[in-house]
Amino acid sequence: MPRRTEAKPVCLKVGARIRELRKERGMSLQDLADAGALSKGHLSSIEQGLAAITIETVERIATALGVSPFCVITFPEDDELDRLADLARKLSKGDLRKLRKELQTRTTHEPRT
C-alpha cells in the first residue's frame, strides 16, 4: 500500500494503538517488524498513520504482539466496550473464563433495559 503524505484520523488511531501494544510488551520497532515479517520502515509508517494497511497486515501484527486482531483495532479511550475488552485481554485465562461465565449468567438472567 502506498505511503500517505497526510495521516487520516483512523490510521493515526490504529498506529498509536499498535505502538501502545508494542511498547507494553517491551518490543522495539525492529522486534515487531521482524516478528510480523514487515520492514521497519513500513511499520514506522503504520505507527505514524501514514500507511494504509490490509487486514492481513493487522493479523500479522496482532500475531507478532500475541493478541487478537480485534485488540489492534479497538480504542479503549473512545468506547466503554473497547475499555472492557482491553481490560479483559490483560486477565489470566482462568480469570477470563470466570468473567465470561459471570457475563453469560448476567445476560441470560437479567432483563434488558
Q: Convert the chain into a string of H (helix), E (strand) and C (coil).
A: CCECCCCCHHHHHHHHHHHHHHHHCCCCHHHHHHHCCCCHHHHHHHHCCCECCCHHHHHHHHHHHCCCHHHHCCCCCCCHHHHHHHHHHCCCHHHHHHHHHHHHHHHHHCCCC
pLDDT at 44: 96
Domain count, the chain: 2
pLDDT at 14: 96
Q: 104: buried, middle or exposed (CB in 10 Å: 19+, 13-18, 0-12)?
A: exposed
Average pLDDT over residues 19-23: 97
Task: Indicate if 83 and 100 belong to the same structural domain.
Answer: yes
pLDDT of residue 1 exceeding 60, the answer is: no
Task: Indicate if 63 and 93 belong to the same structural domain.
Answer: no
pLDDT at 113: 57
Q: Check which CATH number belongs to the domain holding 38 and give it.
A: 1.10.260.40
Task: Indicate if 64 and 110 belong to the same structural domain.
Answer: no
Task: Indicate if 59 and 28 belong to the same structural domain.
Answer: yes
Distance CA 27, CA 79 (A): 26
Task: Indicate if 15 and 61 belong to the same structural domain.
Answer: yes
Q: What is the pTM of this model?
A: 0.81
pLDDT at 108: 84
Domain range for 37: 1-73
Task: Indicate if 66 and 104 belong to the same structural domain.
Answer: no
User: What pLDDT, in 10s, does the model give residues 52-111?
Assistant: 899 999 999 999 999 999 999 999 999 999 999 999 989 999 999 999 999 999 888 766
pLDDT at 7: 86
Residue with cell 493487522: 58
Task: Indicate if 62 and 82 belong to the same structural domain.
Answer: no
Task: Indicate if 59 and 81 belong to the same structural domain.
Answer: no
